Amino acid sequence: MSKIATIDPTTLINPDTGKAKINLLGMSKQQLIDFFASIDEKKFRATQVMKWIYQYGVGDFFTMTNLSKKLQQKLDEVACVVPPKVKFKQFSEDGTRKWIFEVTGGSLVETVLIPADDNKQFGRKTLCISSQVGCALDCSFCSTGKQGFERDLTASEIIGQLWVANQSYMEDVPVTERENRVTNVVMMGMGEPLLNYRPVVASMSLMLDDHAFGMSKRRVTLSTSGVVPRMYQLAKDIDVALAISLHAPNDELRNKLVPINKKYPLAELIEVAKYYVYETNPRHKKHVTIEYVMLAGVNDSDEHAKQLVNLLDGLPSKINLIPFNPFPHAPYGRSSNNRIHAFSNILNQAGFVSTIRQTRGDDIDAACGQLVGQVADRTKRSQKWQEMVTKKQKQLVAN
Ligand code: SAH
Ligand code: SF4
């Protein structure tokens, strides 16, 4: 076994040298190549190690059997593969899995995995990933926004969420028979991904990279509230699916709900959305997903639906109606099911595909945009759980 001493959740110190080990998790292929060059090793080691890490969920160099003993030892001295620390996890009978990660500095972020309705072993599994602790954009209906901004997550903290989720299906599976089970990723947890641009793009690149997770680009979705210049940049840098958190069909209302609209109003947002669909990869017929949270009496009238139809004219889009998830002191209520269906019908009659997101308590939207309350709640629970574990340990020691 490797000798390592933990000083915080993600940094490891080599006790012999006293030096911090380099975390390979979250490094791009080029960064890994550079790393191997820096320790006088050949380029191909980068892809070898990448496969172990991302395809077999292996972080222990001594398990990487196609590396020589000498190289395993050398890597163990200077490097490590460390995801953020799992503070709490909950696996439900229906297949939903939730994790609370404690990132360096003690902040908590939550990640949620939702299986398709049939919960088949190899069926669709969507992971909702966080990109920041808190969020600076302060949308009026979002509990993450109410928390304010704490800090950006690093690439290892972002990709680590996916790594841990996949690993959770690998326990007890022989290393060579392991495979990743998460089929879809949505950047819809805490934070505005485009305001943590580089680590987010680096992480999504690893999701797509065939030597890493090798996911389909249509199954990796970035959700943004509309940071327009970064959307143009994104279109140049990476080909992933795009979701736009629209929530209002006119500037007056959107300024109130999504304050970044004052900086980048709807006309600019729709223009960049069209650019994303038509300019980036015109041969692939693409669309954007429009997210629209249904707030009773605020943005859910027939008139709003008609305005939305006009606004989205000429933009290939699928509209996802999200029943509002209440949180303490939220100044909104959830639209009735009848209202949501009436709204949806207007969109469908105008030729759009609109879907209504389910709102089971364990559904993904209970997590997305709802992370603060859940984290606080789970933290209390995790505290209780830890107290319980400590008590048990004490009992064991006493016995
Ligand atoms: N910051 C990004 C991604 C994270 S939010 C964005 O805004 O797109 C993920 C999704 O959850 C967004 O569409 C957001 O508007 C939505 N959301 C936030 N709070 C919500 C709530 N209380 N009920 C339902 N959806 C919510
Ligand atoms: Fe931030 Fe998205 Fe919440 Fe708005 S909806 S506050 S952008 S996380």
Q: How many CB atoms lie within 10 A of CB 343?
A: 24
Ligand 1 atom closest to the Cα of residue 191 is 1
Q: Which residue has the higher pLDDT, 214 or 278?
A: 214
pLDDT 10s digits, 285-326? 589 999 999 999 999 999 999 999 999 999 999 999 999 999
Q: What b/e readout covers 193-219, taking b as 16+ CB neighbours within 10 angstroms? A: bbbbbebbbbbbbbbbbebbbebebeb
Give the global pTM: 0.89
pLDDT of residue 370: 56
Q: Which one is catalytic: 110, 157, 192, 291?
A: 110
For the cut 60, the answer to whether the pLDDT of residue 207 exceeds it is yes
Question: For 145-153, what is the mean pLDDT?
Answer: 92
Ligand 2 centre to CA of 219 (Å) is 21
Ligand 1 centre to CA of 192 (Å) is 9
For the cut 90, the answer to whether the pLDDT of residue 163 exceeds it is yes
Question: For 234-253, what is the mean pLDDT?
Answer: 96
Does residue 77 have an active-site annotation? no
Whether 354 is in the pocket of ligand 1, judged by its Cβ within 6 Å, is no
pLDDT of residue 359: 56
pLDDT of residue 9: 40
Pocket, ligand 2, Cβ cutoff 6 A: 135, 137-139, 142, 144-145, 191-192, 225, 245, 369
Does residue 135 have an active-site annotation? no
For the cut 90, the answer to whether the pLDDT of residue 392 exceeds it is no
Cβ contact 256:262 at 8 Å: no
Q: How confident is the model at residue 280 (pLDDT cuts 50, 70, 90)?
A: confident
pLDDT 10s digits, 45-88? 999 999 999 999 999 999 999 999 999 999 999 999 999 999 99
